[in-house]
Chain A
Amino acid sequence: DAGITQSPRHKVTETGTPVTLRCHQTENHRYMYWYRQDPGHGLRLIHYSYGVKDTDKGEVSDGYSVSRSKTEDFLLTLESATSSQTSVYFCATGRAGELFFGEGSRLTVL
């Protein structure tokens, strides 16, 4: 258990509104990740961070931005939510090739 907390756990929003999901970790892991889980696609990497203020894109980064101002916090922002971004979002931290996941944030965009 890497002490990962995601908030909010559930959110319903409307198309075009901005949304921010927060990930907080207590293990001081350098690497943090945002994945989304969709049926038939498994887990796909959105963005990741290799340190404070150091981030990079994953395979499905369009429409998402991230920020990491402190080691323990990694924010995922949807600037203008679309229905295709309805998904379950998982934050993870990494150590020695292994990822530790949070419990997920279920986002519904109407």
Chain B
Amino acid sequence: DQQVKQNSPSLSVQEGRISILNCDYTNSMFDYFLWYKKYPAEGPTFLISISSIKDKNEDGRFTVFLNKSAKHLSLHIVPSQPGDSAVYFCAASAEETSGSRLTFGEGTQLTVNP
């Protein structure tokens, strides 16, 4: 039972354009959501998060949108850069605390072409 799902295994965009990565979840108890970025042969690194009390959070070129009624979140990268090419994981938890266990999606491979 995949509680967090990223339906697109891969996405290819041109440098300078917008990248939109999508994520759906089924567990209504999830109220804290994160995006992680992973380069080959490295561990995932935290990118951006959003709490369920918000519908948008922005950090530089990265914006995460949350639609609780649709159980859907998305990550927008504007403008996309070749260095953004990586696997992006969506993750969710039932609480924003130190002991929370994250449930991850399958990941989306983003390729930004020069």
* Interface positions of A (Cβ within 8 A of B): 4, 29-31, 33, 35, 40-45, 48, 50, 58, 90, 92, 94-104
Instruction: State A99–B89 Cα separation when bound (angstroms).
Output: 13
> Given A40-B106, A95-B98, A98-B49, 16 more contacts at CB 8 Å?
A4-B43, A30-B98, A31-B99, A33-B101, A42-B6, A42-B106, A43-B44, A94-B99, A96-B96, A97-B93, A97-B95, A99-B44, A100-B46, A101-B36, A101-B45, A102-B43
What are some 16 contacts across the A-B interface (CB < 8 A)? A30-B99, A42-B104, A43-B102, A48-B101, A94-B98, A97-B49, A97-B96, A97-B98, A98-B34, A98-B46, A98-B49, A99-B36, A102-B43, A103-B41, A103-B43, A104-B42
Q: With A41-B106, A90-B44 as given contacts, are A97 and B101 in contact (CB-CB < 8 Å)?
A: no
Instruction: State A30–B91 Cα separation when bound (angstroms).
Output: 21
Could you tell me how many residues of chain B have their Cβ less than 8 Å away from some Cβ of chain A? 28
Q: What is the 8 Å Cβ interface bit string for chain B, positions 89-111, against chain A (1 contact, 0 not)? A: 10101011111111111110000
Instruction: State A90–B43 Cα separation when bound (angstroms).
Output: 7
